[in-house]
Structure 1
Amino acid sequence: MKQPEIAPDETPKRKRLSSTARRQDFINQAIEFFAEEGFESSTRGLAKKLGVTQPLLYRYFPSKDDLISEVYDAVYVNRWQPEWEPLLRDRTRPLADRLNTFYNVYTDVIFNREWMRIYLFSGLKGVDINRRYMQLVRQRILEPILIEARVELGLPDVPAKDCEVEFAWIMHGGIFYYGIRDLIYDSAISTDKKRVIEDAIAAFMAGLKIKLKREGQG
Protein backbone atom coordinates (compact mmCIF):
# COMPACT_ATOMS: atom_id res chain seq x y z
CA MET A 1 0.00 0.00 0.00
CA LYS A 2 1.36 3.37 -1.03
CA GLN A 3 2.12 5.60 1.92
CA PRO A 4 0.58 9.09 1.77
CA GLU A 5 3.05 11.76 0.88
CA ILE A 6 4.14 13.91 3.77
CA ALA A 7 3.36 17.56 3.10
CA PRO A 8 6.26 19.90 3.55
CA ASP A 9 6.29 21.97 6.72
CA GLU A 10 4.10 24.93 5.94
CA THR A 11 4.60 26.59 9.31
CA PRO A 12 5.73 30.14 8.57
CA LYS A 13 9.17 30.88 9.81
CA ARG A 14 9.49 33.66 12.35
CA LYS A 15 10.45 36.83 10.58
CA ARG A 16 13.85 38.14 11.50
CA LEU A 17 13.50 41.71 12.73
CA SER A 18 15.94 44.48 12.05
CA SER A 19 17.72 45.96 15.04
CA THR A 20 15.45 49.03 14.96
CA ALA A 21 12.28 46.96 14.66
CA ARG A 22 13.34 44.60 17.45
CA ARG A 23 14.10 47.55 19.71
CA GLN A 24 10.65 49.03 19.06
CA ASP A 25 9.08 45.62 19.67
CA PHE A 26 10.83 45.43 23.05
CA ILE A 27 9.48 48.90 23.94
CA ASN A 28 5.93 47.98 22.91
CA GLN A 29 5.99 44.81 24.98
CA ALA A 30 7.58 46.64 27.91
CA ILE A 31 4.65 49.07 27.86
CA GLU A 32 2.23 46.16 28.20
CA PHE A 33 4.43 44.54 30.86
CA PHE A 34 4.74 47.65 33.07
CA ALA A 35 1.04 48.44 32.66
CA GLU A 36 0.18 45.00 34.06
CA GLU A 37 3.03 44.27 36.47
CA GLY A 38 4.19 47.70 37.58
CA PHE A 39 7.82 48.66 37.99
CA GLU A 40 8.89 46.28 40.74
CA SER A 41 9.61 43.38 38.39
CA SER A 42 13.21 42.93 37.32
CA THR A 43 14.58 43.03 33.80
CA ARG A 44 14.95 39.27 34.17
CA GLY A 45 11.18 38.96 34.47
CA LEU A 46 10.68 41.24 31.50
CA ALA A 47 13.19 39.30 29.41
CA LYS A 48 11.36 36.09 30.27
CA LYS A 49 8.06 37.59 29.12
CA LEU A 50 9.70 38.75 25.90
CA GLY A 51 11.15 35.31 25.33
CA VAL A 52 14.72 36.60 25.12
CA THR A 53 17.78 36.44 27.30
CA GLN A 54 18.57 39.18 29.76
CA PRO A 55 21.95 39.92 28.08
CA LEU A 56 20.14 40.47 24.76
CA LEU A 57 17.77 42.94 26.42
CA TYR A 58 20.76 44.77 27.88
CA ARG A 59 22.23 45.12 24.39
CA TYR A 60 19.34 47.42 23.56
CA PHE A 61 18.77 49.01 26.97
CA PRO A 62 21.85 49.16 29.25
CA SER A 63 19.67 49.51 32.36
CA LYS A 64 16.10 49.26 33.51
CA ASP A 65 16.01 53.05 33.86
CA ASP A 66 16.95 53.40 30.20
CA LEU A 67 14.04 51.18 29.23
CA ILE A 68 11.65 53.08 31.50
CA SER A 69 12.78 56.32 29.87
CA GLU A 70 11.94 54.87 26.47
CA VAL A 71 8.53 53.79 27.75
CA TYR A 72 7.93 57.32 29.03
CA ASP A 73 8.76 58.79 25.64
CA ALA A 74 6.56 56.28 23.82
CA VAL A 75 3.51 56.60 26.08
CA TYR A 76 3.66 60.27 27.10
CA VAL A 77 5.97 62.39 24.94
CA ASN A 78 5.23 60.83 21.55
CA ARG A 79 1.49 60.99 22.10
CA TRP A 80 1.66 64.71 22.79
CA GLN A 81 0.01 66.48 19.88
CA PRO A 82 1.77 69.59 18.48
CA GLU A 83 -1.55 71.31 17.74
CA TRP A 84 -2.60 71.37 21.40
CA GLU A 85 -0.53 74.38 22.43
CA PRO A 86 -1.56 76.63 19.50
CA LEU A 87 -5.16 75.67 20.27
CA LEU A 88 -4.82 76.94 23.85
CA ARG A 89 -3.31 80.23 22.60
CA ASP A 90 -5.86 80.91 19.85
CA ARG A 91 -7.27 84.25 21.02
CA THR A 92 -9.82 84.36 18.21
CA ARG A 93 -11.95 82.03 20.38
CA PRO A 94 -13.25 82.47 23.95
CA LEU A 95 -11.00 80.67 26.43
CA ALA A 96 -13.78 78.40 27.73
CA ASP A 97 -14.42 77.25 24.16
CA ARG A 98 -10.71 76.54 23.66
CA LEU A 99 -10.51 74.62 26.92
CA ASN A 100 -13.50 72.47 26.10
CA THR A 101 -12.04 71.57 22.71
CA PHE A 102 -8.60 70.92 24.18
CA TYR A 103 -9.68 68.74 27.09
CA ASN A 104 -11.95 66.63 24.91
CA VAL A 105 -9.13 65.80 22.46
CA TYR A 106 -6.54 65.56 25.25
CA THR A 107 -8.58 63.04 27.20
CA ASP A 108 -9.12 61.02 24.04
CA VAL A 109 -5.36 60.39 24.25
CA ILE A 110 -4.77 59.96 27.98
CA PHE A 111 -7.96 58.09 28.87
CA ASN A 112 -6.23 54.88 27.95
CA ARG A 113 -5.75 51.90 30.24
CA GLU A 114 -2.01 51.54 29.64
CA TRP A 115 -1.47 55.30 30.01
CA MET A 116 -3.32 55.41 33.32
CA ARG A 117 -1.89 52.23 34.85
CA ILE A 118 1.72 53.13 34.02
CA TYR A 119 1.17 56.60 35.47
CA LEU A 120 -0.26 55.20 38.71
CA PHE A 121 2.33 52.43 39.06
CA SER A 122 5.16 54.90 38.54
CA GLY A 123 3.86 57.07 41.36
CA LEU A 124 3.63 54.15 43.77
CA LYS A 125 7.12 52.94 42.93
CA GLY A 126 8.74 56.37 42.93
CA VAL A 127 9.68 56.23 39.25
CA ASP A 128 10.05 59.76 37.91
CA ILE A 129 7.50 59.35 35.10
CA ASN A 130 4.95 61.23 37.22
CA ARG A 131 7.26 64.12 38.05
CA ARG A 132 8.41 64.52 34.47
CA TYR A 133 4.89 64.46 33.11
CA MET A 134 3.50 66.81 35.75
CA GLN A 135 6.21 69.33 34.86
CA LEU A 136 5.21 68.96 31.21
CA VAL A 137 1.57 69.59 32.09
CA ARG A 138 2.45 72.67 34.14
CA GLN A 139 4.62 74.22 31.44
CA ARG A 140 2.55 73.36 28.37
CA ILE A 141 -1.01 73.34 29.68
CA LEU A 142 -1.60 75.05 33.02
CA GLU A 143 0.69 78.07 32.75
CA PRO A 144 -0.49 78.92 29.21
CA ILE A 145 -4.12 78.57 30.35
CA LEU A 146 -3.53 81.01 33.20
CA ILE A 147 -1.85 83.53 30.91
CA GLU A 148 -4.78 83.28 28.49
CA ALA A 149 -7.23 83.72 31.36
CA ARG A 150 -5.46 86.88 32.48
CA VAL A 151 -5.57 88.32 28.97
CA GLU A 152 -9.26 87.51 28.59
CA LEU A 153 -10.00 89.19 31.93
CA GLY A 154 -8.01 92.27 30.92
CA LEU A 155 -5.22 91.64 33.43
CA PRO A 156 -1.46 91.98 32.89
CA ASP A 157 0.15 89.21 30.82
CA VAL A 158 2.57 88.03 33.51
CA PRO A 159 3.82 84.58 34.57
CA ALA A 160 1.39 82.60 36.70
CA LYS A 161 1.90 82.46 40.46
CA ASP A 162 2.21 79.10 42.20
CA CYS A 163 -1.14 79.59 43.95
CA GLU A 164 -2.78 80.14 40.56
CA VAL A 165 -1.14 77.02 39.16
CA GLU A 166 -2.49 75.05 42.12
CA PHE A 167 -5.95 76.38 41.34
CA ALA A 168 -5.60 75.21 37.73
CA TRP A 169 -4.46 71.78 38.99
CA ILE A 170 -7.82 71.43 40.74
CA MET A 171 -9.59 71.60 37.37
CA HIS A 172 -7.03 69.50 35.53
CA GLY A 173 -6.81 66.93 38.32
CA GLY A 174 -10.58 66.65 38.56
CA ILE A 175 -10.85 65.82 34.86
CA PHE A 176 -7.95 63.39 35.15
CA TYR A 177 -9.46 61.63 38.16
CA TYR A 178 -12.73 61.18 36.27
CA GLY A 179 -10.69 59.09 33.81
CA ILE A 180 -9.20 57.05 36.65
CA ARG A 181 -12.63 56.35 38.13
CA ASP A 182 -13.91 55.38 34.71
CA LEU A 183 -11.01 53.24 33.44
CA ILE A 184 -9.32 51.93 36.59
CA TYR A 185 -12.05 51.75 39.24
CA ASP A 186 -15.02 51.39 36.88
CA SER A 187 -16.99 53.67 39.18
CA ALA A 188 -17.66 56.85 37.21
CA ILE A 189 -21.22 57.98 37.83
CA SER A 190 -21.61 59.84 34.56
CA THR A 191 -20.69 58.42 31.17
CA ASP A 192 -20.96 61.83 29.52
CA LYS A 193 -17.29 62.87 29.44
CA LYS A 194 -18.03 66.00 27.46
CA ARG A 195 -20.46 67.25 30.13
CA VAL A 196 -18.02 66.47 32.95
CA ILE A 197 -15.31 68.49 31.19
CA GLU A 198 -17.70 71.35 30.46
CA ASP A 199 -18.76 71.58 34.12
CA ALA A 200 -15.16 71.45 35.37
CA ILE A 201 -14.11 74.26 33.03
CA ALA A 202 -17.12 76.43 33.88
CA ALA A 203 -16.34 76.10 37.60
CA PHE A 204 -12.66 76.87 36.99
CA MET A 205 -13.34 79.99 34.92
CA ALA A 206 -15.83 81.38 37.44
CA GLY A 207 -13.59 80.57 40.39
CA LEU A 208 -10.44 81.99 38.82
CA LYS A 209 -12.14 85.30 38.16
CA ILE A 210 -13.20 85.54 41.80
CA LYS A 211 -9.74 84.47 42.98
CA LEU A 212 -7.92 87.13 40.96
CA LYS A 213 -10.29 89.86 42.07
CA ARG A 214 -9.95 88.78 45.69
CA GLU A 215 -6.20 89.10 45.41
CA GLY A 216 -6.58 92.64 44.09
CA GLN A 217 -5.52 91.83 40.57
CA GLY A 218 -8.83 92.46 38.83
Structure 2
Amino acid sequence: MKQPSKARARAQIREPQRLDPSERESIIAREAVSFFAEHGFGGQTRELAKRLGITQPLLYRYFPSKEALIERVYQEVFVGRWKPSWEKIITDRSVPLKARLIHFYRDYAEVILTYEWIRLFMFAGLRDLGLNARYLKMLRERAFENVIEEIRAEYGRPSTGDLPATVLEIEMVWGLHAAIFYLGVRKFIYSMPLETDVNSIIDAKVTTFLGGIRSILPAKVAANSAT
Protein backbone atom coordinates (compact mmCIF):
# COMPACT_ATOMS: atom_id res chain seq x y z
CA MET A 1 0.00 0.00 0.00
CA LYS A 2 1.43 3.35 -1.07
CA GLN A 3 2.27 5.65 1.85
CA PRO A 4 1.27 9.35 1.62
CA SER A 5 4.09 11.84 1.18
CA LYS A 6 5.27 13.83 4.19
CA ALA A 7 3.81 17.03 2.71
CA ARG A 8 0.45 15.36 2.22
CA ALA A 9 0.55 13.92 5.75
CA ARG A 10 1.25 17.38 7.21
CA ALA A 11 -1.64 18.82 5.19
CA GLN A 12 -3.93 16.15 6.58
CA ILE A 13 -2.90 17.06 10.12
CA ARG A 14 -3.49 20.78 9.50
CA GLU A 15 -6.87 20.24 7.86
CA PRO A 16 -9.69 21.12 10.29
CA GLN A 17 -11.56 18.11 11.55
CA ARG A 18 -15.06 17.86 10.14
CA LEU A 19 -17.45 17.56 13.04
CA ASP A 20 -21.12 16.78 13.34
CA PRO A 21 -22.95 20.11 13.95
CA SER A 22 -24.32 19.00 17.32
CA GLU A 23 -20.85 17.90 18.41
CA ARG A 24 -19.29 21.21 17.37
CA GLU A 25 -22.05 23.12 19.16
CA SER A 26 -21.32 21.16 22.36
CA ILE A 27 -17.59 21.85 22.01
CA ILE A 28 -18.23 25.59 21.60
CA ALA A 29 -20.54 25.60 24.65
CA ARG A 30 -18.02 23.75 26.83
CA GLU A 31 -15.21 26.07 25.81
CA ALA A 32 -17.45 29.10 26.42
CA VAL A 33 -17.98 27.91 29.99
CA SER A 34 -14.22 27.82 30.59
CA PHE A 35 -13.60 31.06 28.70
CA PHE A 36 -16.18 33.15 30.55
CA ALA A 37 -15.18 31.64 33.90
CA GLU A 38 -11.65 32.84 33.23
CA HIS A 39 -12.34 36.24 31.62
CA GLY A 40 -15.84 37.14 32.77
CA PHE A 41 -18.83 37.82 30.54
CA GLY A 42 -17.08 40.86 29.13
CA GLY A 43 -14.79 38.48 27.23
CA GLN A 44 -14.99 38.93 23.45
CA THR A 45 -16.43 36.22 21.22
CA ARG A 46 -13.61 36.80 18.72
CA GLU A 47 -11.15 35.69 21.40
CA LEU A 48 -13.30 32.66 22.17
CA ALA A 49 -13.39 31.76 18.47
CA LYS A 50 -9.61 32.12 18.29
CA ARG A 51 -9.24 29.85 21.28
CA LEU A 52 -11.47 27.28 19.57
CA GLY A 53 -9.51 27.53 16.33
CA ILE A 54 -12.57 28.61 14.35
CA THR A 55 -13.76 31.86 12.77
CA GLN A 56 -16.11 34.23 14.54
CA PRO A 57 -18.71 33.86 11.74
CA LEU A 58 -18.66 30.09 12.28
CA LEU A 59 -19.23 30.58 16.01
CA TYR A 60 -22.22 32.82 15.23
CA ARG A 61 -23.60 30.16 12.92
CA TYR A 62 -24.19 28.04 16.04
CA PHE A 63 -24.96 30.87 18.46
CA PRO A 64 -26.42 33.90 16.63
CA SER A 65 -25.49 36.35 19.40
CA LYS A 66 -23.31 36.61 22.46
CA GLU A 67 -26.51 36.64 24.54
CA ALA A 68 -27.51 33.29 23.05
CA LEU A 69 -24.11 31.87 23.96
CA ILE A 70 -24.37 33.19 27.52
CA GLU A 71 -27.83 31.65 27.83
CA ARG A 72 -26.36 28.29 26.78
CA VAL A 73 -23.67 28.67 29.44
CA TYR A 74 -26.39 29.34 32.02
CA GLN A 75 -28.29 26.24 30.95
CA GLU A 76 -25.15 24.11 30.98
CA VAL A 77 -23.79 25.20 34.36
CA PHE A 78 -26.68 26.35 36.52
CA VAL A 79 -29.73 24.51 35.21
CA GLY A 80 -28.07 21.41 33.77
CA ARG A 81 -26.11 20.61 36.91
CA TRP A 82 -29.12 20.84 39.21
CA LYS A 83 -30.07 17.35 40.42
CA PRO A 84 -33.80 16.59 40.89
CA SER A 85 -32.69 13.99 43.45
CA TRP A 86 -31.76 16.81 45.84
CA GLU A 87 -35.41 17.64 46.40
CA LYS A 88 -36.09 13.99 47.28
CA ILE A 89 -33.15 13.94 49.68
CA ILE A 90 -34.51 16.98 51.55
CA THR A 91 -38.07 15.65 51.82
CA ASP A 92 -37.39 11.97 52.65
CA ARG A 93 -38.76 11.75 56.19
CA SER A 94 -37.57 8.19 56.63
CA VAL A 95 -34.16 9.80 57.26
CA PRO A 96 -33.45 12.15 60.22
CA LEU A 97 -33.61 15.83 59.24
CA LYS A 98 -30.01 16.63 60.14
CA ALA A 99 -28.73 13.71 58.06
CA ARG A 100 -30.88 14.85 55.12
CA LEU A 101 -29.57 18.41 55.21
CA ILE A 102 -25.97 17.25 55.52
CA HIS A 103 -26.47 14.85 52.60
CA PHE A 104 -28.02 17.57 50.46
CA TYR A 105 -25.45 20.26 51.20
CA ARG A 106 -22.49 17.91 50.81
CA ASP A 107 -23.77 16.81 47.42
CA TYR A 108 -24.72 20.36 46.41
CA ALA A 109 -21.29 21.62 47.42
CA GLU A 110 -19.61 19.11 45.12
CA VAL A 111 -21.46 20.73 42.22
CA ILE A 112 -21.16 24.43 43.03
CA LEU A 113 -17.78 24.66 44.76
CA THR A 114 -15.86 24.58 41.49
CA TYR A 115 -13.79 27.18 39.66
CA GLU A 116 -16.31 27.48 36.81
CA TRP A 117 -19.51 27.60 38.88
CA ILE A 118 -18.35 30.13 41.46
CA ARG A 119 -16.64 32.49 39.02
CA LEU A 120 -19.48 32.40 36.49
CA PHE A 121 -22.01 33.16 39.21
CA MET A 122 -19.95 36.08 40.48
CA PHE A 123 -19.28 37.49 37.01
CA ALA A 124 -22.96 37.16 36.08
CA GLY A 125 -23.93 39.16 39.15
CA LEU A 126 -21.39 41.89 38.41
CA ARG A 127 -22.69 42.24 34.84
CA ASP A 128 -26.33 42.23 36.05
CA LEU A 129 -27.32 39.71 33.38
CA GLY A 130 -30.38 38.48 35.27
CA LEU A 131 -28.97 34.96 35.48
CA ASN A 132 -28.46 35.11 39.22
CA ALA A 133 -32.06 36.15 39.89
CA ARG A 134 -33.34 33.28 37.76
CA TYR A 135 -31.12 30.76 39.50
CA LEU A 136 -31.89 32.01 43.00
CA LYS A 137 -35.62 31.86 42.27
CA MET A 138 -35.18 28.20 41.29
CA LEU A 139 -33.10 27.58 44.41
CA ARG A 140 -35.73 29.09 46.67
CA GLU A 141 -38.56 27.12 45.08
CA ARG A 142 -36.80 23.76 44.88
CA ALA A 143 -34.65 23.83 48.01
CA PHE A 144 -35.36 26.60 50.50
CA GLU A 145 -39.12 26.11 50.64
CA ASN A 146 -38.65 22.38 51.13
CA VAL A 147 -36.05 22.90 53.86
CA ILE A 148 -38.42 25.18 55.77
CA GLU A 149 -41.32 22.76 55.37
CA GLU A 150 -39.24 19.89 56.73
CA ILE A 151 -37.96 21.94 59.66
CA ARG A 152 -41.49 22.88 60.58
CA ALA A 153 -42.58 19.25 60.41
CA GLU A 154 -39.61 18.27 62.59
CA TYR A 155 -40.65 20.72 65.33
CA GLY A 156 -44.41 20.31 65.00
CA ARG A 157 -45.04 23.73 63.49
CA PRO A 158 -47.70 24.70 60.90
CA SER A 159 -47.12 23.57 57.33
CA THR A 160 -46.03 26.20 54.82
CA GLY A 161 -49.21 25.27 52.96
CA ASP A 162 -51.19 26.72 55.88
CA LEU A 163 -48.76 29.46 56.86
CA PRO A 164 -46.25 30.61 54.21
CA ALA A 165 -42.56 30.76 55.06
CA THR A 166 -41.69 33.92 56.96
CA VAL A 167 -39.01 36.41 55.98
CA LEU A 168 -36.89 35.36 58.95
CA GLU A 169 -37.11 31.68 58.06
CA ILE A 170 -36.02 32.40 54.50
CA GLU A 171 -33.17 34.57 55.79
CA MET A 172 -31.94 31.79 58.08
CA VAL A 173 -31.81 29.34 55.19
CA TRP A 174 -30.11 31.98 53.04
CA GLY A 175 -27.52 32.33 55.77
CA LEU A 176 -26.72 28.62 55.76
CA HIS A 177 -26.60 28.47 51.98
CA ALA A 178 -24.48 31.62 51.68
CA ALA A 179 -22.00 30.33 54.25
CA ILE A 180 -21.41 27.24 52.11
CA PHE A 181 -21.25 29.26 48.87
CA TYR A 182 -18.68 31.54 50.49
CA LEU A 183 -16.30 28.61 50.82
CA GLY A 184 -16.05 28.69 47.04
CA VAL A 185 -15.60 32.46 46.99
CA ARG A 186 -12.68 32.16 49.39
CA LYS A 187 -11.03 29.53 47.22
CA PHE A 188 -11.76 30.68 43.67
CA ILE A 189 -12.09 34.46 44.07
CA TYR A 190 -9.80 35.27 47.00
CA SER A 191 -7.37 32.37 46.41
CA MET A 192 -7.57 31.43 50.09
CA PRO A 193 -7.23 27.67 50.67
CA LEU A 194 -9.56 26.09 53.22
CA GLU A 195 -7.84 24.86 56.35
CA THR A 196 -10.04 21.79 56.77
CA ASP A 197 -12.15 19.61 54.50
CA VAL A 198 -15.42 20.95 53.10
CA ASN A 199 -17.58 18.14 54.51
CA SER A 200 -16.48 18.88 58.07
CA ILE A 201 -17.34 22.54 57.60
CA ILE A 202 -20.75 21.69 56.13
CA ASP A 203 -21.53 19.30 58.98
CA ALA A 204 -20.70 22.01 61.54
CA LYS A 205 -22.73 24.68 59.75
CA VAL A 206 -25.82 22.46 59.45
CA THR A 207 -25.56 21.52 63.13
CA THR A 208 -25.28 25.18 64.14
CA PHE A 209 -28.16 26.13 61.84
CA LEU A 210 -30.51 23.53 63.32
CA GLY A 211 -29.50 24.57 66.82
CA GLY A 212 -30.76 28.11 66.25
CA ILE A 213 -33.62 27.85 63.76
CA ARG A 214 -36.26 26.76 66.29
CA SER A 215 -36.31 30.18 67.98
CA ILE A 216 -37.73 31.94 64.92
CA LEU A 217 -40.26 29.30 63.79
CA PRO A 218 -43.98 30.07 64.03
CA ALA A 219 -45.70 28.95 67.22
CA LYS A 220 -47.19 25.48 67.38
CA VAL A 221 -50.85 25.18 66.52
CA ALA A 222 -53.15 24.99 69.54
CA ALA A 223 -54.11 21.35 68.95
CA ASN A 224 -50.49 20.25 69.02
CA SER A 225 -49.50 22.35 72.01
CA ALA A 226 -52.20 21.00 74.32
CA THR A 227 -50.95 18.33 76.73
After TM superposition, is the score higher than 0.5?
yes
SS at 1:145 equivalent: helix
* Letter matched to residue 16 of structure 1: R
Note if contact 1:39-1:122 (Cα within 8 Å) is conserved in structure 2: yes
4+ residue segments displaced more than 6 Å: none
- Structure 1 residue aligned with 2:214: 209
- Count how many residue pairs are aligned between Structure 1 and Structure 2: 212
- Structure 1 residue aligned with 2:168: 163
Which of 103, 124, 127 lines up with 2:126 in the alignment?
Answer: 124
SS at 1:92 equivalent: coil
- Structure 2 residue aligned with 1:182: 187
Distance 1:83 1:73 in 2: 18
1:73 correspondence with 2:72: no
- Structure 1 residue aligned with 2:117: 115
Change (3 A) 1:188 1:217: farther
Distance 2:56 2:16 in 1: 20
1:96 correspondence with 2:87: no
Residue ranges of structure 2 left out of the alignment (5+ in a row): 222-227
* Letter matched to residue 114 of structure 1: E
Note if contact 2:119-2:188 (Cα within 8 Å) is conserved in structure 1: no
Which of 8, 28, 31 lines up with 1:29 in the alignment?
Answer: 31
Change (3 A) 1:62 1:150: same
Change (3 A) 1:50 1:8: closer
TM-score normalised to structure 1 length: 0.89
- Structure 2 residue aligned with 1:196: 201
Deviations 1:10-40 (A, max 9, x none): 4445421111011111101111110111011
Provide the aligned C-alpha RMSD in A.
Answer: 2.0
Offset of residue 108 of structure 1: 0.9
Change (3 A) 1:7 1:182: closer
Note if contact 2:176-2:209 (Cα within 8 Å) is conserved in structure 1: yes
Note if contact 2:157-2:219 (Cα within 8 Å) is conserved in structure 1: no
* Letter matched to residue 151 of structure 1: A
Offset of residue 42 of structure 1: 3.0
Note if contact 2:168-2:216 (Cα within 8 Å) is conserved in structure 1: no
What is the identity percentage for the equivalent residue pairs of Structure 1 and Structure 2? 41
Residue ranges of structure 1 left out of the alignment (5+ in a row): none
Offset of residue 7 of structure 1: 4.4
TM-score normalised to structure 2 length: 0.86
Note if contact 1:178-1:188 (Cα within 8 Å) is conserved in structure 2: no
Distance 2:181 2:126 in 1: 17
